[in-house]
Structure 1
Amino acid sequence: MTAINAVTSLAVDGNIAVLTVDSPPVNALSAAVRAGILQGIERCTADPAVQGIVLACAGKTFIAGADITEFGKPFVPPGLPEVQAAIENSTKPVVAAIHGTALGGGLEVALVCHYRIAARSARCGLPEVHLGLLPGAGGTQRLPRLVGVEKALEMVAYGTHVPAPEAAEMGLLDALADDATLRADAIAFARRIVEEKRPLRKVRDLDDKISPARGNGELFAAFRKANARRFRGFEAPEASIRCIEAAVELPFDEGLRRERELFQELMAGSQSAAQRYVFFASRQVWNVPDIGADVPSIPVTRVGIVGAGTMGGGIAMNFLNAGMPVTIVETTQQALDRGLRTIRANYDNTMKKGRLSAAEVEARMARLTPTLDLQQLADADLVIEAVFENMEVKKELFGRLDQIVKPGAILATNTSALDVDEIAAATSRPEAVIGLHFFSPANVMKLLEVVRGEKTAKPVVRTSMELARKIGKVAALVGVCPGFVGNRMLAQRQREAQRLALEGALPWDIDRVLYDFGFPMGPFAMSDLAGLDLGWVRERSTGSTLREILCEMDRRGQKTGAGYYDYDAQRNARPSPVVERVIRDFATRQGRTRRAVSDQEILERCVFPMINEGAKILQEGKALRASDIDVIWNNGYGWPVYRGGPMFYADTIGLDKVVRTLRQYEEMLGEEFRPAPLLADLAARGKRFADPK
């Protein structure tokens, strides 16, 4: 084996050269990797003893994509197109040997090889859309020529990873190999190509898979229509579709130019900047500065859940899905049976959609032990309470758990807003207590706020973060404060939405503005979905808020067919003249004179106070980083990823503008809008939340 540079090497097996990339951790297409491949191809082309070339990778994966750390930095040659041209125009057949993943630029390199063989466990994809981009190195032009237009549209616009057997079936791969024999099989495959004198097949020259779509605009229109909701607000999917249209209708080189133009437009745009920011923020969120490798984790093999309601059952499913046995406790048989039925129904629905087999459902249910006896949690390594959101109830429960659960176990509360330190004080081991705030439905929502108490031990924090990853959650470490991070900020938006409704905007106006901003639904539609009667008790209702009045009218949301909106039998919403009248009458009784409220004011008053609250949270140290706040809002509250997150959005529009606008509303509406000191200071110094401290 001969080293070409620090990350590539060349070995010869008879008449076949194996060019190997070894650039941990994922063989990304850095400048060194590009240079090594180019030099390797040139050497092989010049060597008369070499008749075929295998392009392979060491480590756990084939080239997994571009080196996104180079984005925005000065260009270092050679460029990827130059490398691809050398491969594609090689006078000797080049075979890509794929294992692990061939993603983005990695797959685009494989597409310029003359043939492709992959391990059966490999996956291929063009996921650039998740970074607000499209494949910029010929992917949108070559892929449809191999797999057809329909499959190419799905792979590029969805950014999906396709398993190797499926990729071979659709024509993306020429052969499959066992994982253990991929290298040997790739060499043998290349040797057969040479012996059989197969043509140097250039994907760019293929036409049979795209010609049926030529002139068929209806195909693309149907794809757009079918995915209108999925693609709403995003620029990259539409640009990807336009590129594949170009692949069908234009000569290859013209299509390539169109792809490059659209790629560069996206790269320079705000959406890709936001989505790339989210990509890095989603990795940074796992980093807890004071929890180093020297902090031990606590083995967790058995989990206990107290409460089998919607939240407790959903939490239990996360651990059952991860292969962990769970004991779930309720106070009555009726409540326990109801909880078990809900868990079973959730699994059955998943099975009907083809995502689980009947055997897998039974295996997961078999890991669940239902009981009415709290003593059954004595041997649990982790106990999570999911009971009524009442401090006294939770303190009483934790006092009992303290007497039952073995020493060394973690005691976690799922509270969404209560003081974790006060709950911990009800035990003799506050160092073992932590908040694990799951979001509803807990078996679906990705976010988990890990709430670190004043006395929570470091091993408990580390273990909680590791468990979050194990059960497929995105965890953000937060501090103890009312509402923690997400709900504390949400309360600001909810307050202003209610005030705006009384001042002149109607619920559907407010919802429309936030929906158009990119949220999946506005605050009033969200309230109807959750149920207006959450926490409402008729006997204690005073009719002092719109919500109470509507609940007293039995307008409790979608489940009753009426809330802020009216609903038909299919739960389709329409503005309610009844609610409009209730709002106007309520405003009159309060002595308010309603006025016209602009869309701009609605957006500013709903979003800017959230940003301001985020600044207070950072100043108090209740979140480690501004980017953690954004991760919370991306994964728990539907903040549009193409706007980055509330703190990134503030940086984008300028902190000086946010402060200036808040001060205008402070003068008009009161001190709730007073800029946080941190926000005001950063704005005065021309800084951003994203800037180093």
Structure 2
Amino acid sequence: MSTALTLKNWTLHHDERNIAHLIINCPDRSMNALSGEVMAELATAIDYLDSHRPSGLIIRSGKSNGFIAGADVNEFTRFENDLQAGKTLIERGWHLFNRIEQLPFPTLALIHGTCLGGGLELALACRYRVLIDSPKPSLGLPEVMLGIYPGWGGAKRLPALIGAQKALDMMLTGRTLDARRAKSFGLVDIVTAQRVALKTAQDYVLSGKPARKAKGIDKLLNTPPFKKIPAYFARKQVKQKDPMGHYPAPLAIIDIWEKHNGDGLADLSIVQRLLQSPTTRNLIRVFHLQDRLKSFTKRGDSKAIKHVHVIGAGVMGGGIATWCALQGLKVTVQDTDHARIAGALKNAASLFARKDRLSAQAARDNFIPDPQGQGIDDADIIIEAIFENLEAKQALYKTIEPRMKEGAILATNTSSLSLASLRTQLARPERFVGVHFFNPVAKMPLVEVITADGIAEEAINQACAFVGRINKLPLLVKDTPGFLVNAVLGPYMLEAMRCVDEGIAPEVIDTAMLRFGMPMGPIELADTVGLDIAMAAGKQLAEGSAPPRCLQQLVSQQKLGKKTGEGFYQWKNRKPSQFSDKDIPEHLEKRLITPFIEQAEKQLQKGIIEDADLVDAGIIFGTGFAPFRGGPLHYKHHS
């Protein structure tokens, strides 16, 4: 039974048991978001329900891809110059969700897919939460990644529900939960199958069961004065990860939870500090850059990609195959060396083991050893990831191309050879693209999609769709030495090594860049990549200058970094030696970051990337360049 209430983003009806169903479906968005308009309509619906008193209320989504992605981030951009607007937005959600929590009838959030930020805060305001078991549920409070805090009650209700330690970990890292962990944490009451979800929700909202709350030690540590214990350890952990205090939001979240029971409005100085922080402004910029990269994935048909064939089971090929299998694609893995396939399987198993039992088994089933390359005939995309040798790759392509099915794409993961030279022997060069992954594949979000004159637009679009299908971010880059990321990283690492030649200790160099905000120093990065690879890349990108003496010496001694146990550092238990607390030489930071920025500008001027924002996006997601600085080009113009 529908109501007389007319809303743009919500529909309201009652079933035969007088349960109200409030369904969000924002018509102008692919994913639901809680904009000012949506929240105003929600308040109107709650007013109506409060006066008409249904037997229960179920809040759910009308979109197949998820519940609610969070607040409307576009509304955050004006806060820097309008603190009152930020305060008003926080007050609106805080008071509205408090009203929902206090409604005189039972409430339930029926969740599927994405449930983040304000979406989860809305669910937390309900008495019950039922989660539909779908392939990729994602529940979390990732506000910290935007430099802000959960302002609509999440910082209060999440610790009260699952305990302070688990809640603080989620809020301080932005980490999300899948269905298994959401249930084990106590974040949801039930995980149910899609086919019975609505009936389950109807029964549960009328069950009369008490609302779930943290118990025992979890409850104790969420009450004064015991809050001081998890707060102390959380602050200690934050300061270890961010000793320079580049990111103010994590400590603010701890303060708001410990001192104000999750109510940021109790201390507006905290809100002001966050909303007007350059860090927040830049992290919101990074969010929009990420959205722009995601938009490229919509150019092709990701549903048409079901089977990936990977040739080469080494570090990169094995990593690509493992990741694709984990994302639900059938993957056949070809290599002339059976031992390499076995090694790739072993490495894959360790990654699969981190997932729940069913996901791990599905990934294992997807990963199919195929030493003879029988999968070529049926694959939608064939990824070549063999060693960097032009003749070997060209010879391989001659055997592959005649067997490819109509519409399939041939892709190379080359990091140093040009597409123009690789495709000279191909009968259909228009179906040949570059998909340049970064190591480790499971952790690095960016994939450079390499284009060149003559490549079919449809092939490029499908390559972008493939990257999106495996939950990576595609960046379109024109065929040029080093593409974007390596072209920028190479001179940066070489300059760091020249500092070593001048007598500056590697750990001092790395410490300087860690203080700048890099996730890893340039010397440790070179050790991690492999000094032999750094040497080869350096020769390609050094424009005639000789490689640093220290690099030549280590490579000649076969001290290649992490993979051999020794390079610039002694690697023990797969970790480098401890960094130094010595004084950093004046201007060292500027000296190291200058070639980084200069190379970024050079690549933009060459026209290999569409614009400066995409250069910044590629470098942030491809190198880990300090996100709070907004990208190297943005940093230069705003520092």
Q: With structure 1 as the length reference, what TM-score do the two structures score?
A: 0.76
1 CA distance for matches of 2:379 and 2:184? Answer: 47
Distance (whole Å) between structure 2 residues aligned to residue 271 and residue 639 of structure 1: 14
Q: Is the 8 A contact 2:189 2:212 kept in 1?
A: no
Contact 1:307/1:385 (8 A) holds in 2: yes
Take 1:359 and 1:161, find their aligned partners in 2: how far apart are those partners?
21
Distance 1:403 1:566, change over 3 A: same
Cα offsets for 1:557-592 (capped at 9, x unmatched): 34555432345577542589xxxxxxxxxxxxxxxx
TM superposition shift of 1:485:
0.5
Q: Flag the 1:183–1:495 CA change in 2: closer, same or farther, 3 A.
A: same
Once the two structures are TM-superposed, the CA of residue 642 in structure 1 deviates from its matched residue by 2.5
CA contact (8 A) 2:10 2:22 kept: yes
Count of paired positions: 605
Could you say which residue in structure 1 is the equivalent of 2:415?
416
Tell me what 2:77 maps to: 72
1:453 Cα deviation after fit: 1.3
1:514 deviates by: 0.8
Change (3 A) 1:209 1:399: same
Instruction: Please give the alpha-carbon distance, in whole angstroms, between the structure 2 residues aligned to 1:378 and 1:276.
Output: 44
Name the residue aligned to 2:619: 633
Q: State the match for 1:209 in structure 2.
A: 219
Using the size of structure 2 for normalisation, the TM-score is 0.82
CA RMSD of aligned residues (A): 3.8
**Alignment match, 1:551:** 555
Contact 1:112 1:202 in 2 (8 A): no
Q: Is the Cα contact below 8 Å between 2:163 and 2:222 reproduced in 1?
A: no
2:285 equivalent in structure 1: 277
Letter in 2 for 1:153: L
Structure with bigger gyration radius: 1
Q: Which amino acid aligns with 2:259?
A: A
In the TM superposition, what are the counterparts of 1:262-341 in structure 2 within 5 Å?
262-288=270-296, 300-321=305-326, 322-330=328-336, 336-341=337-342
How many Å separate the matches in 1 of 2:141 and 2:552?
Answer: 50
Secondary structure of the residue aligned to 2:229 is helix
Alignment of 1:464-479 (within 5 A): 464-479=463-478
The Cα of 1:471 is off from its aligned counterpart by 2.5
Q: 2:230 aligns with which of 219, 227, 234?
A: 219
**3-state SS, counterpart of residue 489 of structure 2:** helix
Per mean C-alpha deviation after superposition, the further-off stretch among 215-224 and 356-365 is: 356-365
SS in 2 for 1:520: coil
* Structure 2 unmatched runs, 5+: 540-545
User: Pick from 41, 54, 70: which aligns with 1:36?
Assistant: 41
Corresponding position: 1:116 with 2:128? yes
Partners of 1:379 and 1:147 lie apart in 2 by: 47
Task: Assess if the C-alpha contact under 8 Å between 1:111 and 1:143 holds in 2.
Answer: yes
Provide the C-alpha distance between the structure 2 equivalents of 1:385 and 1:207, rounded to a whole number of angstroms: 53
Q: Deviation digits for residues 61-90 of structure 1, max 9, x if unmatched?
A: 434321112113474889223423443454
Distance 1:55 1:562, change over 3 A: closer
Name the amino acid aligned to 1:146: L
CA distance in structure 2 between the partners assigned to 1:408 and 1:174 by the alignment: 46
Alignment of 1:189-208 (within 5 A): 189-191=204-206, 193=208
Asked whether the equivalents of residues 305 and 381 of structure 2 are also in contact (C-alpha less than 8 Å), the reply is yes
1:476 Cα deviation (Å)? 1.0
Name the SS of the counterpart of 2:330 in structure 1: coil
Q: After TM superposition, list the pairs within 5 Å mapping 1:200-599 onto structure 2.
A: 209-210=219-220, 213-216=223-226, 217-225=228-236, 233-246=246-259, 252=261, 255-258=263-266, 261-288=269-296, 300-321=305-326, 322-330=328-336, 336-353=337-354, 359-360=361-362, 362-365=364-367, 367-371=368-372, 377=376, 380-399=379-398, 401-402=400-401, 405=404, 408-503=407-502, 505-534=504-533, 545-567=549-571, 571-573=575-577, 598-599=585-586
Q: Does 1:149 align with 2:164?
A: yes
Instruction: Determine helix, strand or coil for the equivalent of 1:441.
Output: coil
CA contact (8 A) 1:112 1:203 kept: no
Q: Which residue of 2 aligns with 1:677?
A: none
- Structure 1 residues 431 and 182: CA distance shift in structure 2, 3 A: closer
Structure 2 contact 308–329 (Cα < 8 Å) conserved: no
Match of 1:128 among 143, 148, 153: 143
1:603 aligns with 2:616: no
The verdict on how the C-alpha distance between 1:229 and 1:415 changes in structure 2, with shifts beyond 3 A counting, is farther
- In 1: Cα distance, 2:578 partner to 2:63 partner: 56
In structure 2, the partner of 1:6 is 8
Contact 2:620 2:627 in 1 (8 A): yes
Cα displacement (A) at 1:375: 8.7
Unaligned runs of 5+ in 1: 331-335, 577-595, 654-693
Which shows bigger deviation, 480-489 or 558-567? 558-567
The answer as to whether partners of 1:514 and 1:522 remain within 8 angstroms in 2 is: yes
C-alpha displacement of 1:274: 2.0
Identity %: 30
Instruction: Tell me the equivalent position of 2:601.
Output: 615
Distance in 2 separating the partners of 1:438 and 1:153: 33
Q: Which moved more, 1:441-450 or 1:136-145?
A: 441-450
* In structure 1, C-alpha distance between the alignment counterparts of 2:486 and 2:123, rounded to whole Å: 46
Instruction: State the shift of 1:478 in Å.
Output: 0.5
Q: CA deviation at 1:460?
A: 0.9
Q: SS state of the match for residue 38, structure 1?
A: helix
Aligned to 2:26: 23
In the TM superposition, residue 625 of structure 1 has moved relative to its aligned partner by 3.1
Inter-partner Cα distance in structure 2 for 1:53 and 1:485: 52
* Structure 1 residues 345 and 39, CA gap change in structure 2 (3 angstroms): same
Question: Post-superposition shift, 1:513?
Answer: 0.8
Alignment check: 8 A CA contact 1:286 1:476 kept: no
Kindly indicate whether the alpha-carbon contact (under 8 Å) linking 1:468 and 1:474 is maintained by their aligned counterparts in 2.
yes
SS of the residue aligned with 1:454? Answer: coil
